Amino acid sequence: MAVLSVPVAAPLIRIRWRMFGFLFAFGFMAYMQQKSITVAADRIMPDLHLSQLQIGWLEQAFVIGYAFFQLPGGLFGQRVGARVAFVAIGLLAFVAMTGMAAAPALFQGQLVFLALFGAQLLLGIAQGAIFPISAGVFAAWFPPHRWAFVQGLQTMGLQLGAAITPPLVAALMLGLGWQQALFWISVPALLVIALWAWYARNTPEEHRAVGAQELAEIGDHRASAVDASLGPDRLLLVLSNRNVLLLAISYLCMNYVFYLLSNWVFLYLIQERHFSVLDGGWLATAPPLAAALGAGLGGLVTNALLPRFGVRWGYRLVPLIALPAAGILLFGAVHAGSAYLAVAALAACYASVEITEASYWGSAMTIGGGDTMAVSGFMNTGGNLGGIIGIPIVAYLSGHHAWNAAFFLGAGFALVSAVAWLRIEPDTQVPA
């Protein structure tokens, strides 16, 4: 008797979107973890007798680890695959957050600061690989015409995490203290890590639930084959590529503004605009919420521009308009007569910065091809050098009540970042 084969119906929610959900969650939680120190700083400084400059050094420790593990993290992801890599870096980040919360109970005097510095450095190392590896997963699981869209959506998740952090950490601090606040916001990550380890696969072909229909929807593009054996010669060729270098330089300049807005708005509202801690916590959600909307909008707009203007100008147009606008809005924020108007200007500025993320990461994917994780890691190394440069500058200037100078410098960086886009060619892939 002949056996009839019954075709398996495609799931209502495609497997690639379930994979996206995990990456959205990883980014959301990562930003909650890394931004919590900026809110907890208001209690850490008097409790541990730390200066604002020392808080700046703690933030710098994170950025150093984060920046310098971008490229190694991308290479690590290409070597072992995203499934193993996310489990490893997720658990390492949880250890770092637990160590930060436990430091005052384990150490005394200057050793507490050193322990916090080490924990922040470890957190940066752990999280450095998240977004280069995410880019590789998107390249493998989504068709090229969707890359800008999913990158914008993930960036929206990061900013939602950043938005919820100030009121959540402020409320937890008032009820439990800053140490418990830092610990409890990290606990949900363990569940996501466990589910990812069970469900995720590196490529669609490896996942049993992915059928022929979804494989056809994803398409057979070159970037779906991640280069797991990237040698020194190939790496040198990738990193010396003109478009890769220009992307990194532009991203560096843009990220001075990003770090200014993401790390310092809470203290700016308290110190310069004289809000209370609780009010400042709630108002500090406005810029990242606007950034989240901007990131999602950037994905949608870039996705719409690509078929109309082609890859080169489809990716260029948004940053060429949005980055100069961000510089103008920084000027508006410092000159605003009303504190609430300043908050609105900062929110609009943050949205203008984040609307460009789809262009940056989508371009890294089109330029990088099978080396997307390495190219994305190098670009984000440049981006976080903007933080390494910017954090001590802002810490020094804000500590001397010169917030306006920090913002004016940001306007200059935004303009330079835009100019670099005139020479970036997202439609030109690194030669094979």
Within-domain flag for 4: no
pLDDT band of residue 279 (cuts 50, 70, 90) is low
In a domain, 429, yes or no: no
Q: Does a structural domain hold residue 10? A: no
Tell me the whole-structure pTM to 2 decimals. Answer: 0.78
**165 pLDDT above the threshold of 70:** yes
| Nearest alpha carbon to residue 69 among 89, 90, 46, 87 | 89
In 3-state terms, the chain is what percent helix, strand and coil (to 5)? 80, 0, 20
Domain count, the chain: 1
The answer as to whether 322 is a domain residue is yes
Is the residue at 5 inside a domain? no
**Residue 29 belongs to what domain range?**
15-420
Is 405 among the domain residues?
yes
Structure-block tokens of residue 109: 């005097």
User: Per-residue pLDDT averaged across 39-50, rounded?
Assistant: 82
Place of tokens 């005097």: 109
Q: Could you tell me the two tokens for 327?
A: 């510089």
- pLDDT above 90 covers a percentage of the chain that reads 36
The answer to whether residue 426 sits within a structural domain is no
Residue 3 pLDDT exceeds 50: no
CATH for 22: 1.20.1250.20
DSSP secondary structure code for residue 4 in this structure: P
Q: In this structure, are residues 57 and 45 in contact, taking their beta carbons and an 8 Å threshold?
A: no
Average confidence (pLDDT) over 347-365: 93
Q: Is the predicted pLDDT of residue 266 greater than 80, yes or no?
A: no
The whole-number pLDDT of residue 273 equals: 64
Helices 372-399, 70-80: axis angle to 10 degrees equals 150
On whether the CB atoms of residues 150 and 142 are closer than 8 A, the answer is yes
Mean pLDDT of the region 33-52: 81
Phi first, then psi: what are they for 404, rounded to 5°?
A: -60, -40
317 contacts 199 by C-beta, under 8 angstroms: no
Nearest of 388, 426, 382, 380 to residue 74 by alpha carbon: 380
- Residue recorded with tokens 């009121």: 167
Residues contacting residue 43 through CB under 8 Å, at least 6 positions apart:
173, 177, 178
Residue 110 belongs to some domain of the structure: yes
